[in-house]
Structure formats: C-alpha cells, structure tokens
Structure 1
C-alpha cells in the first residue's frame, strides 16, 4: 500500500503521513492534486489517505472507501452508560478490573464495549492481522471523538496489536488474561451493519482451528468466548457451550476454565 494525504494537505497532515509511512516502511506519495482513482491506476495498490478527520482506506479492488466509525458500538455504549445490560458483557461475565483479549479486532466494536465494562482498572487488547484494518482501528481508537468522554476514554484504553492471533497466543503467558474472545467472519453472511460490510473484503477469513482454541484455553484464566452464526458447527466442533438467543441470528459460546 502507499500513504498519501487529503487533496488539500496541510503541513501537519504531510508530517503525519510521513511518520506513518516511516513507521511501517511504506512509501509516501505526494498528492499533487491527483484523484484517489488516479493514484490507484498509477501505483496499482491500496491507498491510505491521511486526512484531518482520520485515515481513509481506498482498497485497489473496491470502489467504496473504508473509514473508522464505532457504528453500532456507539448505541450499545450509550445504553450501557445508562445502566442497560449489553448481551456480550452478560454472556461473557465481563466485570470491572478484568482483562479481555479480542483476537479478531476488526473495527473494534466489541473491544470498545469491553473497555467500558472493565473500566479504568481493566485491560483490553485487540489483535488484528490485516494491516489496513489495524491502521484504521489504531488511528480511530486514538483520535475519534464521539461527544461522550466516557466512550472516548474507553476507546483510548484499547491496546491494538498488528499480528495474527495464533502467533500472539503462542507467545502469550499462560493464564495471562481473563477472557479470550473470537468473532470471526461468519461463514454465512447475516450482518447488515454497514461497518461490517465495509470491511468484509479486507477481513482475514482464517478459520478457528483446534490449535488456536488450545492456545486460547492456555492463555485464558476464566473463559474462551466465540461469537458466531447460530447454525455454526464451530460451537460443537471446539467444545463451546452455545448460549442460544431466540431473537438473534448470532450466538455466543463459552468454554469455562474455572
């Protein structure tokens, strides 16, 4: 991929784009008035645009650009702050002070909710194997302003790591986090969220293997959690207790370790 700036680039955007390019050993290309489509045609690569409102990803094989936005997480977060119970937090029994490892971060919707639940004394780590999505999530969580200081604080607390989750789990210490969480792309597409649909082409479709689950069980102190289509065979295949929800097309499954 290449790094560039918004068409009307200011000095601070150019500086930020150069810093990002240097950090990941990626080429920085001056915009020089060219359209994004013209840059795609010229360089035959994905384009990362540094703008005043954050990063925009223009994938080479997709006409629609991708940008960070909490989407449904904002609705869920506001409900939580009013005292309502979030289905994810209820299912995985996440409480203040606990640690949460999100092995399939994406655009961090569930990690934001987890960060609110664990509070200032807790820990949330998100793993993302795709570099484009990692850049979006890391930049967005660090800079997006929701208008609610509690939600913004929760986003800032999420630690984002660029690595495949199996390698991360292999390197992690035993019993080092309370909950290890997986939300792989559903094998049957059911999600109507514009956020999910926008990243579907970029997301890693690596299946959850027995080896991954084995490592997750070693790393987790309390439980391993899977979010999947209600018909998914992964629940029984890997020994998850499926928590059925009559009104939802996706379910949570847990492997209790304590």
Structure 2
C-alpha cells in the first residue's frame, strides 16, 4: 500500500502521512498533482490518502473510496445514552465492566455500542484481519469526532488488533472475555445496508468454522454472539439459538455458556 496526501497538501498533512507510513510500514509517495487513478495504474497498489478532513483509501481494483464513519452506530449510540433498547446489548446481556471481543470488527459499528454498554470499567477488543479496514478502523476510532464526548470516549477505548480471529482465539487463555462476537459478511447482499455494501469488496470472506466456534467456547465466559442474515444456514450449522426479529433482515444468534 502507498500513503500520499490530498492534491494540495499542507506541511502538517505531509508530516502526518509520513508518520502513518512509518507507523504501518507502508511506502510514502509525494502526490505531485498526480491523480489517484494514475498513481494506482502506475504503482499497482492500494492508495491511502491523508486529507484535511481525515483519510480515505482508494483500493486498486475499485472506484469506491473507503473511509471511516460511524453511520448508524451514532444513531444507535444516542438511543443507548437515552436509555433506549438496543438488540445487541439486550441479546448479549452486556453490562458495565464486561469484556467484549469483536472477532470481525469491520468499521466497528457494533463495537462502539458494546463499548458504551461496558463503560470505562469494561473493555472491548476488535479484531480485523484486512489491512485496509484495520487502518481505517484504528485511525477513525482514534480521530473521528461525533461532537458527543461520551460516544467519542467509547470509540477511543476500543482496542483494535490486526489479526485473523482464529489465530487470536488460539493464543487467548480460557475465559478471557465475557462475550465473543461474530458478524461475518452476509452471503446475500442487503440492498438497504449501504455501510455493509461499501466494505464487501475489501472484507475477508473467511467463513465461521466449527473450529472457530470451539475456540470461542473456550475463550468466552458468558456467551458467543453472532449476527447474520435471517435466512442464513450458519445459525443451525454452528449450533446458535436464533433470535427472531420480524422487522429486521438480520438476526442475532447465541450460544449460552452459563
């Protein structure tokens, strides 16, 4: 991957881009008024662009620009702060002080809600195996401002790890987390979910295997939680109890361990 700056880069932007390149081990390249498409064609690499209002990624074989934004998580978070119901919190029985492991972080929508629920005395760890999404999530959670201090603080508390979830689970001691969560990419596209569709091309398509679930049962204390398309065969195949939500295209499933 190549890191560069927006077309008219100030000195602070260039310094930030160089710092990120060093931190993540990517190559920094001066923009020199060259278009992003021209850079991709010449270098045959994904291009990370540091701009005034944040960074975005232009994948090599896609015209889509990927950037971090909490989207619906912000709406959900505001409802949670008002004391309203959230299905993830309710289904996982999340409470202050609990430890939550998100094995499929993506752009961290559900981890933001979990972080609000477990509070400052709890902990949320998010695993992302895709380098592009890892960079977006880690930098976005750290730098994005929602103008709500409680939500911003909850975002910053999430520990983002660049690793395959099976590898992480294998090296994690027994009963390390209260809840282990999976949100695998749906096999069926959901047209109304633009947030999901925007990252489908870049997400890792590794399915949830029986070995993953076996490791998750060892690592979790309270339950394993999965979100999937309502017609998904994964619920039955992996032993989840599916929680029907008549008005939603996705359902949660749980494997209770207590």
Q: Deviations over 1:64-110 (max 9, x none)?
A: 21110000001101111111010111111111110100000000000
Residue 29 of structure 1 and its aligned partner are, at CA, apart by 0.5
Residue 191 of structure 1 and its aligned partner are, at CA, apart by 5.2
Query: Relative to structure 1, is the Cα distance of residues 164 and 48 closer, same or farther in structure 2, using a 3 angstrom cutoff?
Result: same
Structure-2 separation of matches of 1:65 and 1:44: 16
Q: Is the Cα–Cα contact under 8 Å of residues 190 and 197 in structure 2 kept in the other structure? A: no
Q: Which residue of structure 2 aligns with residue 60 of structure 1?
A: 60
Q: Which residue of structure 2 aligns with residue 157 of structure 1?
A: 157
Q: Which SS does the other structure have where 2:27 is aligned? A: coil
Q: Is the Cα–Cα contact under 8 Å of residues 223 and 257 in structure 2 kept in the other structure? A: yes
Q: Which runs of 5+ in 2 are unaligned?
A: none
Structure-1 separation of matches of 2:162 and 2:221: 23
Q: Which residue of structure 2 aligns with residue 209 of structure 1?
A: 209
Q: Which residue of structure 2 aligns with residue 127 of structure 1?
A: 127
Residue 87 in 1 paired to residue 87 in 2? yes
The count of residues paired between Structure 1 and Structure 2 equals: 258
Q: Which moved more, 1:193-202 or 1:134-143?
A: 193-202
Structure-2 separation of matches of 1:16 and 1:216: 38
Q: Which residue of structure 1 aligns with residue 100 of structure 2?
A: 100
Q: Which residue of structure 1 aligns with residue 49 of structure 2?
A: 49
Structure-1 separation of matches of 2:12 and 2:94: 40
Q: TM-score, normalised by structure 1?
A: 0.98
Residue 2 in 1 paired to residue 23 in 2? no
Residue 200 of structure 1 and its aligned partner are, at CA, apart by 0.8
Q: Is the Cα–Cα contact under 8 Å of residues 137 and 160 in structure 1 kept in the other structure? A: yes
Q: Which moved more, 1:113-122 or 1:49-58?
A: 49-58
Residue 116 in 1 paired to residue 119 in 2? no
Q: Is the Cα–Cα contact under 8 Å of residues 69 and 195 in structure 1 kept in the other structure? A: no
Structure-2 separation of matches of 1:17 and 1:92: 39
Structure-1 separation of matches of 2:146 and 2:190: 27
Q: Which residue of structure 2 aligns with residue 188 of structure 1?
A: 188
Q: Which residue of structure 1 aligns with residue 38 of structure 2?
A: 38
Q: Which residue of structure 1 aligns with residue 27 of structure 2?
A: 27
Structure-2 separation of matches of 1:101 and 1:14: 35
Residue 192 of structure 1 and its aligned partner are, at CA, apart by 2.0
Residue 193 of structure 1 and its aligned partner are, at CA, apart by 2.4
Q: Is the Cα–Cα contact under 8 Å of residues 216 and 224 in structure 1 kept in the other structure? A: yes
Q: Which SS does the other structure have where 1:251 is aligned? A: strand
Q: TM-score, normalised by structure 2?
A: 0.98
Structure-1 separation of matches of 2:107 and 2:192: 15
Structure-2 separation of matches of 1:192 and 1:174: 39
Q: Which SS does the other structure have where 1:88 is aligned? A: helix
Q: Is the Cα–Cα contact under 8 Å of residues 4 and 48 in structure 1 kept in the other structure? A: yes
Residue 26 of structure 1 and its aligned partner are, at CA, apart by 1.4
Residue 112 of structure 1 and its aligned partner are, at CA, apart by 0.3
